[in-house]
């Protein structure tokens, strides 16, 4: 394809090129991660030193949010809800799914672009509108959402900020749905000749399954959110029972609704969403491990089978978030069984990744360090989920800091580490330059220390029975002896922030001044490395054909330690 002469605006802003859109998603989601991290740093000050003025920042906010520089409980709840929303819906999910998927999936299937480039552009700009609405809600008189990122009614209906949160979510959900359709069509219909389903890289499989989950899980919560919106703005009562008395005043709601209904609709998305975050990360780790252990990935079919099993099972586990919500306790046994059953495909995926190392010749590159750390760190996240999946032990641990520790080990220690690895791995493909290895290692070790120091104390706080979402933990006498662990956690959160400085510097420095590398610096086999770095408009100079599976590393018939998927049989 020829290089078009296009204006700056069309080339870099309203672009339909999957590579530009991927990088737009990447910069937006990395910014959202940083902003969401700042939210929680302010909260962690309040948790470690309740009632003390916030240093430096305390006077920046309005007197309503931080009277005398001290965080108000409303502000705490706003930051809490927006931290969750920003990290999950604006940070991790668009980074793993939209950014990596957009860049790598079309390349790995040998396609010139996405199947629907314009829909791809609409998907990104819809996402931007969602982000802007959320950001704007901070400056509205109502403020942002303050009822947790789960927005449980009736609380979400009697506090302000919910309406704008729902509006933003509708744009973000639309963006995800458009992206999912695009990924499925591209991944299935635009494969290069010879690229059978059995020859697709695990990353592509992971993105396809993620897309299917998004397509099936988001519409119910979107419908549910519209009902919540109606409750907020049109005074319907989908989620409100009769006869509520709010702070001494009778609520005018007609009643007849059921608050738990929202929880079912929300978690019908909410739990599959965990796999929307996780599966792209698993795909990235699989690519990095195969490439850096220089041998074929272990158990390709078992991994694909596990991904497909997760696709089905992830839709029948949602109510394990509701064991003690007041739903019929007889339902819980069913969800406990499905919840423990879904651990099996996850265990198989991890087992295959670990077995892939056996007999390898492991290169300890920066992406490999991140991918290797995913295995034990995500292991902690997964294993600590067992006492939450078991109904009896969940009675004690539910809604405590233990839950916070568990899912941050899953999402930060596991998934985010894998995504960092992916950035180091594909950076040469995006920019034709490599990120600095020693800065990458500083980033890696600092992040590992910061993450464990931040999140491990939460297990102790949770075992001590401390509830989550407390503006002032010391208001409850039983929390006082364990307060020191909040201080530890906050100090390490600061270290985690410092550890990101080498990454941010490395990213921008390497963008302009990094070491120039060849098209395939990692000596990788998949098609994304068979095109120039960065790939031109249209990606491949001529249509590619595929002759073999995705992980032909160290085959005995070749002198090189790799054979590209599109290399003709000799």
Is 532 exposed, middle or buried (CB count within 10 Å of its CB: 0-12, 13-18, 19+)?
Answer: middle
Q: Which is nearer to another protein, 5 or 249 (CB)?
A: 249
- Cα-based distances in Å from 483 to 45, 70, 472, 490: 12, 18, 11, 11
Task: Kindly tell me which residue out of 376, 508, 513, 518 binds another protein, with binding defined by CB under 8 A.
Answer: 376
Q: Which is nearer to another protein, 101 or 440 (CB)?
A: 440
65 counts as binding another protein under rule CB under 8 A? no
* Pairing relationship of beta strands 433-434 and 249-250 according to DSSP bridges: unpaired
Q: Which is nearer to another protein, 57 or 357 (CB)?
A: 357
Rounded to the nearest whole angstrom, what is the least distance from the CB of residue 413 to another protein in the complex? Answer: 13
Rounded to the nearest whole angstrom, what is the least distance from the CB of residue 209 to another protein in the complex? Answer: 18
Binders in 470-509 for another protein, by CB under 8 A: 470-473, 475-478, 482
Q: Is 493 helix (H, G, I), strand (E, B) or coil?
A: helix
Question: How big is the site for another protein, counted in residues (CB under 8 A)?
Answer: 107
Binders in 315-334 for another protein, by CB under 8 A: 324-326, 329-330, 332-333
Binders in 444-473 for another protein, by CB under 8 A: 459-465, 467-473
250 counts as binding another protein under rule CB under 8 A? yes
Q: Which is nearer to another protein, 113 or 287 (CB)?
A: 287
Q: Which stretch binds another protein (CB under 8 A): 20-28, 183-191, 239-247, 274-282?
A: 239-247
Task: Kindly tell me which residue out of 343, 452, 483, 500 binds another protein, with binding defined by CB under 8 A.
Answer: 343
Q: Is 410 helix (H, G, I), strand (E, B) or coil?
A: helix
338 counts as binding another protein under rule CB under 8 A? no
Distance from the Cα of residue 61 to its chain's centroid: 29
Rounded to the nearest whole angstrom, what is the least distance from the CB of residue 165 to another protein in the complex? Answer: 15
148 touches 84 (CB < 8 A): yes
Compute the distance between CA of residue 227 and CA of residue 238 in angstroms, rounded to an integer.
6
371 counts as binding another protein under rule CB under 8 A? no
The Cα angle at residue 382 between residues 472 and 462, in degrees rounded to 5: 25
Q: Which is nearer to another protein, 223 or 329 (CB)?
A: 329
Task: Kindly tell me which residue out of 19, 44, 191, 295 binds another protein, with binding defined by CB under 8 A.
Answer: 295
DSSP string, 163-208: HHHHHHHHHHHHHHHHHHHHHHHHHHHSPPBT--GGGS-HHHHHHH
16 counts as binding another protein under rule CB under 8 A? no
64 counts as binding another protein under rule CB under 8 A? no
Task: Kindly tell me which residue out of 2, 7, 68, 245 binds another protein, with binding defined by CB under 8 A.
Answer: 245
Compute the distance between CA of residue 34 and CA of residue 54 in angstroms, rounded to an integer.
19
Q: Which is nearer to another protein, 476 or 541 (CB)?
A: 476
Residues in a beta bridge with 545: 193
Task: Kindly tell me which residue out of 341, 491, 495, 497 binds another protein, with binding defined by CB under 8 A.
Answer: 341
Instruction: Kindly report the backbone phi and psi dihedral angles of residue 399, in degrees, each rounded to the nearest multiple of 5, phi listed first.
Output: 60, 20
| Nearest Cα to Cα of residue 335 among 309, 314, 310, 306 | 314
Instruction: Look up residue 147 and give its two tokens.
Output: 């009822």
DSSP annotation of 323: T
Compute the distance between CA of residue 112 and CA of residue 540 in angstroms, rounded to an integer.
7
414 counts as binding another protein under rule CB under 8 A? no
Task: Kindly tell me which residue out of 34, 129, 155, 316 binds another protein, with binding defined by CB under 8 A.
Answer: 155
Rounded to the nearest whole angstrom, what is the least distance from the CB of residue 143 to another protein in the complex? Answer: 12
Rounded to the nearest whole angstrom, what is the least distance from the CB of residue 375 to another protein in the complex? Answer: 6
Rounded to the nearest whole angstrom, what is the least distance from the CB of residue 305 to another protein in the complex? Answer: 8
298 touches 355 (CB < 8 A): yes
34 counts as binding another protein under rule CB under 8 A? no
Query: What is the torsion angle, in degrees rounded to the nearest 10, for the CA atoms of residue 145, residue 150, residue 155 and residue 160?
Result: 10
Q: Is 360 helix (H, G, I), strand (E, B) or coil?
A: coil
Task: Kindly tell me which residue out of 10, 11, 264, 294 binds another protein, with binding defined by CB under 8 A.
Answer: 294
Q: Which stretch binds another protein (CB under 8 A): 215-223, 270-278, 292-300, 504-512?
A: 292-300
Q: Which is nearer to another protein, 1 or 475 (CB)?
A: 475
Binders in 517-556 for another protein, by CB under 8 A: 553-556
Task: Kindly tell me which residue out of 176, 293, 454, 533 binds another protein, with binding defined by CB under 8 A.
Answer: 293
63 counts as binding another protein under rule CB under 8 A? no
Q: Which is nearer to another protein, 25 or 401 (CB)?
A: 401
Binders in 133-152 for another protein, by CB under 8 A: 146-148, 152
Binders in 163-222 for another protein, by CB under 8 A: none
Task: Kindly tell me which residue out of 74, 437, 519, 523 binds another protein, with binding defined by CB under 8 A.
Answer: 74
DSSP annotation of 256: -
Task: Kindly tell me which residue out of 53, 112, 194, 241 binds another protein, with binding defined by CB under 8 A.
Answer: 241
DSSP string, 129-163: HHHHHHHHHTTSTT-S--STTTT-TTHHHHSSSHH
Task: Kindly tell me which residue out of 132, 392, 504, 511 binds another protein, with binding defined by CB under 8 A.
Answer: 392
The Cα angle at residue 498 between residues 66 and 379, in degrees rounded to 5: 100
- Cα-based distances in Å from 286 to 42, 274, 345, 372: 36, 18, 15, 10
């Amino acid at each position: 394809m020829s290089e078009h002469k296009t204006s700056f605006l069309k080339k870099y802003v309203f672009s339909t090129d999957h590579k530009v859109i991927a990088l737009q998603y990447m910069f937006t989601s990395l910014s959202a991660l940083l902003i969401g991290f700042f939210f929680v740093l302010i909260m962690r000050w309040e948790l470690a030193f309740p009632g003390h003025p916030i240093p430096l920042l305390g006077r920046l906010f309005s007197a309503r949010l931080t009277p005398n520089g001290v965080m108000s409980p409303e502000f705490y709840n706003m930051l809490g809800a927006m931290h969750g929303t920003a990290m999950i819906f604006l940070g991790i999910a668009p980074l793993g799914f939209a950014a990596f998927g957009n860049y790598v999936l079309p390349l790995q299937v040998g396609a010139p672009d996405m199947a629907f480039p314009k829909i791809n552009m609409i998907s990104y700009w819809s996402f931007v509108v969602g982000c802007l609405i959320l950001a704007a809600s901070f400056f509205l008189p109502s403020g942002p959402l303050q009822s947790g990122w789960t927005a449980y009614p009736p609380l979400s209906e009697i506090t302000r900020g919910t309406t704008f949160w729902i509006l933003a979510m509708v744009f973000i959900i639309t963006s995800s749905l458009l992206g999912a359709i695009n990924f499925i069509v591209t991944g299935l219909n635009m494969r290069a000749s010879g690229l059978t389903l059995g020859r697709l890289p695990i990353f592509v499989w992971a993105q396809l399954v993620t897309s299917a989950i998004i397509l099936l899980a988001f519409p119910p919560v979107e419908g549910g959110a519209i009902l919540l919106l109606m409750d907020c703005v049109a005074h319907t009562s989908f989620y409100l029972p009769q006869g509520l008395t709010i702070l001494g005043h009778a609520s005018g709601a007609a009643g007849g609704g059921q608050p738990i209904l929202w929880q079912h609709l929300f978690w019908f998305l909410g739990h599959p969403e965990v796999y929307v975050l996780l599966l792209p990360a698993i795909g990235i780790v699989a690519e990095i491990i195969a490439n850096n252990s220089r041998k074929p990935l272990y158990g390709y079919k078992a991994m694909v089978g596990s991904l497909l099993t997760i696709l089905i099972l992830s839709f029948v586990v949602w109510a394990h978030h509701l064991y003690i919500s007041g739903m019929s306790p007889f339902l819980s046994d069913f969800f406990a069984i499905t919840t423990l059953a879904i651990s099996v495909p996850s265990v198989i995926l991890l087992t295959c990744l670990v077995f892939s190392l056996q007999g390898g010749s492991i290169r300890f590159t920066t992406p490999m360090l991140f991918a290797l750390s995913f295995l034990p760190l995500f292991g902690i996240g997964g294993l600590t989920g067992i006492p939450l999946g078991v109904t009896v032990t969940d009675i004690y641990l539910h809604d405590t800091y233990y839950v916070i520790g568990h899912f941050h080990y899953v999402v930060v220690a596991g998934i985010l580490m894998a995504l960092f690895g992916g950035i180091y791995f594909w950076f040469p493909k995006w920019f034709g330059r490599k990120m600095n290895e020693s800065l990458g290692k500083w980033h890696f070790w600092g992040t590992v220390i910061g993450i464990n120091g931040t999140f491990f104390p939460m297990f102790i706080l949770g075992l001590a029975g401390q509830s989550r979402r407390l503006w002032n933990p010391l208001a409850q006498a039983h929390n006082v002896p364990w307060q020191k662990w909040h201080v530890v956690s906050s100090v390490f959160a600061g270290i985690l922030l410092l550890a990101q400085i080498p990454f941010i510097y490395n990213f921008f420095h390497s963008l302009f001044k990094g070491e120039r590398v060849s098209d395939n610096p990692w000596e990788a086999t998949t098609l994304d490395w068979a095109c120039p770095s960065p790939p031109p408009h249209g990606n491949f100079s001529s249509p590619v054909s595929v002759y073999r599976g995705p992980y032909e590393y160290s085959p005995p018939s070749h002198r090189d330690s790799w054979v590209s998927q599109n290399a003709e049989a000799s």
